[in-house]
Amino acid sequence: MRHARAALELLAPAFLVIAVGLFGTTVSSSTETYVITTLVNVAIVVALYVFIGNSGVVSFGHMSFVAVGAWTAGILSMPTGEKPAIMPNLAGFLRDTTVGNVPSLALAAAVGAVYALVVGLPLMRLSGLAAGIATFGVLEITHNVLRYWEKIGPGLNTFSAVPETTGLLQAAVGALIAIVVAFMYQRSRYGRMLRATREDPAAARAVGVSVYGQRLVAFTLSGGLAGLAGGLYVHLLPLNTEGLYLNLTFITLAMLVIGGLTSLWGAVVGAVVVSAVDSFLAEAENGVQLPGGTLDLPAGTRIVVVGALMALVLILRPSGLTGGRELPLPRATLRGLLTKFSA
């Protein structure tokens, strides 16, 4: 029964992702892009969850790892012939190397993890407010450097000519990998130790858990997942530095908060629900046909709605839509389901 319950914890978010992916096969190609974006968002938010959810420390800096992953995958998978036009000042090694789709994603995850480890080594000593400000500083520095340092990327240019391999399948597989990794981590002793430090740092320390060490493990892992998500993202659409900055930081944090900070299910639900609302509003900003007539919202409505939603959730239901629980089934229903399955 304990294992069945654990399996349900993994299956619920996985099924949600698969359902979203299947839904994507039934819609028009313009809507399909929104569905793929939703799946990439799931990967980003799950990456955020691995650190923020399990440690209880807010990080504003994760978009740096997404950006570094996007840069890695984008530069390495762009055809050599296209590189001089978009990135004229690229360093020699990067200019001459081109790798395939899957290796570029693996490298994106690796570079994201290494960068998170390097950043985390000093920063994981900080908690609360200081951690928030310091990770924000990391975001600013990464953004600033990627924007102007043309030896390691396109600078102010956009990543065009990167093979657009992130379709429904790749996005769904990426999101599933993120979910499985997050699930395995939170079931492992490391995940449990980190959650213990979240609930009561003093008690956790008293039984020999290193708060610093556990946070560093989660930060590195979550940086790797964020890097992977960045790789998926750059293979989906032409990105530039502005696309991986404050707005995306805000939207993905909002997804996590709205879904519920402290559970994997919450992270996935938040990402799917907010992405759905956001896609609908994005479409409505260009004018959308509804049964009652044309809905045409002015530009900027998206962030107003998402911001208002986030503020409302924070004030009225601080633990998020899912209540921060793994699966919001009432205990009786769950037990009924489980006995039926095991019978």
Partner 1 sequence: MSIATFLGADWQTLADAFGLGGIYALMAVGIGLVFGVLRLVNFAYGQLVMAGAYALAFAYERGWPVWVGVLLCFGVVIALSLAMDLVVFRPLRSQSPAVMLVATFAVAFLLQSIALLWFGPLGKIAASLSSLNQPWSIGGVDIRKISIVATLVAAGCLVALVALLGRTSVGLHMRAAALDFRTARLLGVRANRVIGSAVLLSGLLAATVAVMMTVQTPLVTPDFALRDTILVLAGVVLGGMNRLISATLGGFAIGFASGFLGGALPTDQSQYLPSFLFAAVILVLLIRPGGLFTRAGAQAVERV
Residues forming contacts to partner 1 in the complex (CB under 8 A) are 56-58, 60, 122-134, 136-138, 140-141, 144-145, 148, 201, 211-212, 215, 247, 250, 253-254, 257, 298-304, 306-308, 310-311, 314-315, 318
SS3 107: helix
Name the residue nearer to partner 1 (CB basis): 144 or 339: 144
With CA atoms as reference, report the closest residue to 78 among 158, 168, 148.
158
- Min separation Cβ 253 and partner 1, Å: 6
> Would you say how long the chain is, in residues?
343
CB of 30 to partner 1, least distance (A): 24
Contact 258, 270 (CB under 8 A): yes
Q: Which residues contact 58 (CB under 8 A, 6 or more apart)?
A: 52, 131, 132, 135, 253
Question: What's the min distance (Å) between Cβ of 305 and partner 1?
Answer: 9
Q: Which is nearer to partner 1, 1 or 314 (CB)?
A: 314
Under DSSP, is residue 288 helix (H, G, I), strand (E, B) or coil? strand
Name which of 32 and 140 has its Cβ closer to partner 1.
Answer: 140
Query: CA angle, corner 257, sides to 216 and 54, nearest 5?
Result: 25
CB of 53 to partner 1, least distance (A): 12
Distance CA 81, CA 70 (A): 20
| Complete DSSP assignment for 165-214 | ---HHHHHHHHHHHHHHHHHHHHSHHHHHHHHHHH-HHHHHHTT--HHHH
CB nearer partner 1, residue 123 or residue 176: 123
Angle between helices 2-25 and 29-55 (to 10 degrees): 150
Q: Name the minimum Å distance from CB 132 to partner 1.
A: 5
Cα of 174 vs its chain's centroid, Å: 11
For partner 1, the closer of residues 195 and 302 by Cβ is 302
Pick between residue 32 and residue 285 the one whose CB is nearest to partner 1: 285
The angle subtended at Cα 9 by Cα 5 and Cα 13, nearest 5°, is 150
Burial class (CB in 10 A: 0-12, 13-18, 19+), 268: buried
Q: How far is the CB of 45 from partner 1 (least distance, A)?
A: 14
- Minimum distance from residue 111 beta carbon to partner 1 (Å): 19
Minimal distance, residue 137 CB to partner 1, in Å: 4
The 8-class DSSP code of residue 326 comes to S
Are 48 and 227 a contacting pair, CB within 8 Å?
A: no
**Which residues share a beta bridge with 294?**
289
Give 132 or 328: the residue with its C-beta nearer to partner 1: 132
Nearer to partner 1, 24 or 243 (CB): 243
